[in-house]
Amino acid sequence: MRPAWLEIDLNAITENVRRIRRHVGPRTSALAVVKANAYGHGLLPCAMAALRGGASHLGVAILDEALELRENGVTAPVLILGAPLPECASEIMAAGVSQVVSCAEAITALSDVAAAQGREIGLHLKVDTGMCRVGANPAEAVALAQRILEAPGVRLEGICTHFATSDEDPDFLAEQNAGFQRVLEELDERGFTPPFRHAANSGAIQASRETRFNLVRAGLLTYGCPPLPDEKPELIPALQWKTRLVQVKRVPAGSFVGYGITARLSRDSILGVVPLGYADGWPRALSNRGRVLVRGEGVPVVGRVSMDQFTVDLTEIPGASLGDEVMLVGSQGERRQTVDDVAAAAATNTHDILAGLSIRLPRVYHS
């Protein structure tokens, strides 16, 4: 096996979903978001682990992810969260999943295909309450809901929105939620009562009881990476990212390190070569600023991160040698480095780091 790998604790994912369900209460179901290869953790194993924890639905971003689940025997409800092109209606129907919609064209295309096949598909009408991304204008929501109710082959299975600042700005979160509530009230007045109403992503699950309705969409929380770490529920990180030193050598003061000679050694140093790089998801932005753990101590990245390797300064680590474990994410001794720590050093967010974990990193699953 390549000396750089991910270790995934599937029991942690199962337990995290259980804790999320307890946190939101018995009247609210949990959709586990497994898009982007389950946030880098591995789509199929993590989907099964989430279902064992009591997730009622699985959420994906694109049709290919839904098809991979179905082709591997997953029969649980799957919701495609991304906006569909009308010409994809036949493939969506073939997958036997539900679909988020926010425009008349998608509703019509799915209705036409479903009716022609004598089948039915559940649609979740998405309302744009302030993110200005995918979603119908609130003023159009009632008309689109009416269109779904009247069209053959489709049913109004849910209504939803998405929050822009659930882990950053509680005032804007409340503003968006109030806008969603107004749409729900308008639909209720007309007797439109879809089975599922959902708005809360991971940050909102933690931050706002008022946003939970009867279904929540747990992304980061499923994997033990809470966007608001000081809030409940308490979770178990599912991922460790490990590698091993493939070279350790002494280098004299004054030597340059890496592409672009952006680092110059101010002292005689001991350097270690780490056999992964930005092609694996370790961001180039960590050049001369990231850290990893070796022998239970933090050591700095020296020079630019390359596509397949980078260099660390081991001068302060007595006995560091070829083959030593390097912990990029996880615990070593009494020290721990989280995905949040890596993201902060790279001036990005946790989602970016997890979604960037390359498929060329072997996944080792524990359960």
pLDDT tens digits, residue range 194-209? 999 999 999 999 999 9
Q: Is the peptide bond before 26 cis (omega within 30 degrees of 0)?
A: no
Q: Is the pLDDT of residue 43 over 90?
A: yes
**Mean of all residue pLDDT scores within the chain:** 97
Tell me the percentage of the chain whose pLDDT exceeds 70. 100
What tokens does 97 get?
A: 């999943």
d(CA 165, CA 177): 11
pTM (whole model) above 0.75: yes
Specify the pLDDT at position 177.
Answer: 98
Residue whose pair of structure tokens reads 């007309």 in the numeric block: 190
Tell me the percentage of the chain whose pLDDT exceeds 90. 99
> Could you say which of 3.20.20.10, 3.40.309.10, 3.40.50.12280, 3.40.50.1860 is the CATH number of the domain covering 9-223?
3.20.20.10
In terms of Cβ atoms closer than 10 Å to its own Cβ (0-12, 13-18, 19+), residue 302 is buried
Specify the pLDDT at position 367.
Answer: 93
C-alpha angle 33-201-193 in degrees, rounded to nearest 5: 95
Query: Model confidence at 1, in pLDDT bands (50, 70, 90)?
Result: confident
Q: For the chain, where are the alpha helices, taking DSSP H only? A: 10-24, 35-39, 43-52, 63-71, 89-95, 104-117, 141-150, 170-189, 202-207, 339-345, 350-355
Superfamily of domain 239-366: Lyase, Ornithine Decarboxylase; Chain A, domain 1 (2.40.37.10)
Specify the pLDDT at position 348.
Answer: 98
| DSSP line for 27-75 | T-EEEEE-HHHHHTT-HHHHHHHHHHTT-SEEEESSHHHHHHHHHTT--
Angle between helices 43-52 and 63-71 (to 10 degrees): 70
pLDDT tens digits, residue range 175-193? 999 999 999 999 999 999 9
Q: Which of 22, 11, 83 is nearest to 212 (CA)?
A: 22
Catalytic residues, which ones? 35, 259
Listed in order, the ranges of the chain carrying CATH 3.20.20.10 are 9-223
